[in-house]
Amino acid sequence: MTNYTSLDLQGPVGKPLVRVSGREKVTGTATFTAEWPIENMLHVVAVPSTIPHGTVREIDSRDAEKMSGVRLIITPENVPKFTRVQSGSETNFATTVASSLFPAAEKEVFHAGQYMAAVVAESFTAARDAALQVKSKYKTKPHVTDIDQAQADERPEKLMGAPAVITIGDAEQALQESEVMVDHEYPLIGNHHNPIEMHAAIAHWTTQNNKPFLTVYETSQSLSAAQTSYAKVFGIDPKQVRVICKYVGGAFGSKGLMWPHALLACFAAKLTDQPCKCVVTRSQLYGGTGHRTPIRQRVAIGANKDGKIHSIIHDGYASTAIKDTYSEAFTMVTRMMYHTDHLRLDQKQCRLHSQMPTFMRAPAETPGMFALESAIDELAQELNIDPIELRRRNEPEKDIHSGKPFSSRLLMQCLDAGAKRFGWNDRDRAPRSQSEGNWLIGQGVAAATYPFFTFPTKVRVTVHADGRVRIDCCSQEIGTGTRTAQSQLLADMLDVPASRVSMELGDTVLPKGGISGGSATTASVGGAIRDAVEKLKSRLMGLAPSDSALSGVKVDEVRFANGTLVSPKGSVAIEDLLSDAMKESVSVMGELKASKDSSFSKHSFGATFVEVAVDEELGLVRMRRMLGCYSCGTILNAKTGRSQFIGGMIMGIGHALQEATHWDHRLGRITNDNLAEYHIPVNADIPEIDIMWIDTADYDASPIGAKGIGEISITGVAAAVANAVHHATGKRIRSLPITPEKVM
């Protein structure tokens, strides 16, 4: 057992405190990566390949070089020396180098948008104008960008640590023998993350202690790993690298790895010996910084007439790049969602001439749950059983794949509580039974889930004599309010007001943090803080004089209370301990180590309810209302927590109804590489969103009882919307996004 003892969190934890970064952002004092006012800085603009596959014959930069303000064109001829570090997704993220195709360093082209060269100039506009004048000549080769034209004959080595094929019993035979079955394909188009803050990096080479020293301001979800990665690429010690990012203006997974623009900034800075900035343009993002892969998937479910599931099959394939492998684990949710006697999960992949796909908000669960939760709804329809009741009849006693008990699984509680508040049972279950004028009205439900992860994290906690407390950790602020939530947690454990605690993050001079991804930051940083609090107690007790109420008592007998340490013998103010020891402050390090194998299967659960109005003549789907009910352990901050849940649901609406990366497969290029044609929801698309949660600490999963909340709320939305569209119209739409031509 690796479960943790409960914490007695009665103070600031859970309160809806306003995030400190909120004020900083709205008053303009927050500095985002591209905004650092660095003197003497040059600008880098990449020259992307216009073809998807081929060999460079010539990069003609003569005209560009003559243009005003232009300093340098980087090509494979003059690119500085670097080590070809393998892509992170093939090394279990030992590095975060995204692609093994290095910028301005390759003679071979493997996707349109690959950075073949770059211009360094005195202004962004000069660099951009010159970049348009760099003319590349290619010998083209055949390309495949269409997932339906690709050979999907390769199996990923592993999917989220599990094999790509999982079988229990004989699922195909059990399916054929089932009294009722559904068996359908759920194809998904690819998506692109479109953070408002563009990907950017500013690099500067200096000398420290007679050694080269690289400083990079980079918009990143993963600074500590970036530090190691730069060190590997440039053959220097990680101590000779500093990476800084104080705010991230949206990422959703797209800033987890180090994409080529960041290395371009480093190359340019090395060649010019000046700070160099590279900001990816919106259009370059589409070939430059990863995407959610298109997927072809099938889900088949066989059940008895009473709704008991006997067999589930979930198979299909996703795409990856030609030279690098990222395997989207879309079948993985199906190994733990429902009881079944027979199961077969089988994933393959194909290789396309595209940039590397990457994680995008709940990478495995978002596409996987769309298929599985649509299929469950279809089965409920076949059986004429309420879809919530159908899920109840198939609740597993334990994780059917690992055989482990769930650390907590409140799926049915979420469905039931959500159904009650949403008024689920008031609806007429028959499709096409509700309308208002031209609008057909429908309600849909889907489950949500997300696994629990932590990443190794170190923190330093410092207590000052004047009562201020500080947390230092190289975690990231990706918009979620990390500094506020973690300050609340520490304040609670120390029993001091949250206003006394502050947190510094976003700089590799701070203790090493993990990636702000996998919804893992809260528990990872929080777990390290918990460890630090224990060490702080011992450390402060060690300062106590021998006649103190703290001497001769065990650490376990002492607790923090209102700025004091309380033992059975009495209490001592922390301030007095520090002043008696003539110290202005005391610092301790806390650590959360890599998680070991656990005796529990750890996941969060939730329920998503939506109501849509559909105009069949115009093909319109309008969201009318949404409700999400989640069970993610302790919620550290009710306001930022609610906000994250809402954010995930909004992104889910985009996934369900709007987001789509379109290709012209003849040219092998993306056609809607801009925010005008790549549709994401705007305010008018978003209905009233009601968020609720079951706040039950899960200490069998998490050292602080809190699981992650960043990703779960997107995972049920697309299926809930498709299920609601079916309820409204009687029409089942099995591919995303649900655009007018599919509805009409």
* Binding residues for ligand MOS (CB under 6 A): 221, 252-253, 256, 359-361, 363, 517-518
Q: Token digits for 8? A: 């007695």
Give, for 417, the enclosing helix (H) or strand (E): helix 411-422
Contact 712/449 with Cβ under 8 angstroms?
yes
Question: Nearer to ligand MOS by C-beta: 242 or 361?
Answer: 361
What's the rounded Cα separation, in Å, for the pair 55 and 72? 23
Q: Token digits for 399? A: 């994780």
Which DSSP state fits 293? P
Contact 514/521 with Cβ under 8 angstroms?
yes
Nearest to 50 by CA among 353, 331, 448: 353
* 461-467-472 Cα angle (round to 5): 20
Nearest to 333 by CA among 656, 712, 631: 712
What's the rounded Cα separation, in Å, for the pair 573 and 523? 29
Q: Are strands 42-48 and 115-121 parallel, antiparallel or unpaired?
A: antiparallel
The nearest distance, CB 664 to ligand MOS, in angstroms, is 27
In the complex, residue closest to ligand MOS by CB: 253
Question: Nearer to ligand MOS by C-beta: 221 or 331?
Answer: 221
Q: How far is CA 665 from the centre of its chain?
A: 29
Q: In a 3-state reduction of DSSP, which class is residue 290?
A: coil
Contact 86/95 with Cβ under 8 angstroms?
yes
Contact 492/499 with Cβ under 8 angstroms?
no
Q: Token digits for 658? A: 């709007």
Q: Where are the beta strands (DSSP E) in 582-653?
A: 585-592, 603-615, 620-631
* 561-567-569 Cα angle (round to 5): 130
Give the contacts of 655 (CB within 8 A, at least 6 positions apart). Answer: 191, 366, 370, 714, 717, 718, 736, 737
Give, for 368, the enclosing helix (H) or strand (E): helix 365-383
